[in-house]
Copies of this chain bind each other. A is one copy, B any other.
């Protein structure tokens, strides 16, 4: 393994000079020596040891992103946005997946802290469990105390900069739009009760119906994924419009209806939330609430990197997109 010392010796200069040439510095180095060093580094195939640099400099150029599941397009979009932003800043990215285990999330933050990463991004919904959220908060606080920066996408519960999607409001607006089509009997495929994103969307939807003087929706809990939507859809009774709290659940519901010969939107209307790009060619096209996921990821990174003192919470509005999975009824 070629070290800087090897390069310096080969070039006949000191370690200091070699370092200044190759790894940047405020100080100048004469053109002659500079060329010698560069040639030596090239000949030897020198690659700086980043661990050593990190140690010496006391800071790294790595950021960490923690998501639940990379194969979920929601997180993939978020992570992609953040990674593009990171790339423009010359930062490297460590990605951790928790597969929805909050303990893993805490463990990952600890590990990223140990890595002395420049910033940590937490994407993904919080759970209602106060104890576990508290421990995550503590771990994050410890990281920030030692100079780390952090941000999160989701609920503002961690005491860090947050990009908060307007889940309640978006779901409410969706409810009003659907009611505007004449629907009165609704069902909500509500996901797990302890998952805050799911709960907020469900609650926002129900609240809007209440304001409109419409009957409360049938609420069906279950997993937050495609199969959860599939299973929940089978329990719906007597609704003309079904709201799944995310798009992949909505797709599961559509699949369940298709199998049973229930036509969408003729027999029942279905809507989701997120506007996942991969689903843009789904048939029927899914009515949903669009969230600018990639932007949110990028924005979260910006917030994390930003030096400002007070903790910032930024709300991101969703936009209702009506497509063919819903129809007006008499």
* Residues of chain B with a CB closer than 8 A to A282's CB: 281-283
A interface residues, how many (CB within 8 angstroms): 51
* Residues of chain B with a CB closer than 8 A to A14's CB: none
* Residues of chain B with a CB closer than 8 A to A147's CB: 1
Q: How far is the CB of A132 from chain B (nearest CB, A)?
A: 19
Q: How far is the CA of A77 from the CA of B70 in the complex (A)?
A: 8
Stretch touching chain B among A93-101, A152-160, A303-311: A93-101
**Chain A 39-70 near chain B by CB (<8 Å), digits 1 or 0:** 00000010111111011000010100000011
Copies in the complex: 2
Establish whether residues A254 and B281, one from each chain, have CB atoms under 8 Å apart when the complex forms: yes
Q: How far is the CA of A116 from the CA of B51 in the complex (A)?
A: 8
**Chain A 278-297 near chain B by CB (<8 Å), digits 1 or 0:** 11011100000000000000
Establish whether residues A93 and B92, one from each chain, have CB atoms under 8 Å apart when the complex forms: no
Establish whether residues B45 and A94, one from each chain, have CB atoms under 8 Å apart when the complex forms: no
Query: Is A164 in the interface zone, CB < 8 Å from B?
Result: no
Q: How far is the CB of A45 from chain B (nearest CB, A)?
A: 5
Pick the residue among B52, B97, B252, B254 that contacts A55 (CB under 8 A): B52
Stretch touching chain B among A107-115, A168-176, A198-206: A107-115
* Residues of chain B with a CB closer than 8 A to A142's CB: 45, 47
**Chain A 94-132 near chain B by CB (<8 Å), digits 1 or 0:** 111100000000000011011110000000000000000
* Residues of chain B with a CB closer than 8 A to A95's CB: 83, 93-95
* Residues of chain B with a CB closer than 8 A to A193's CB: none
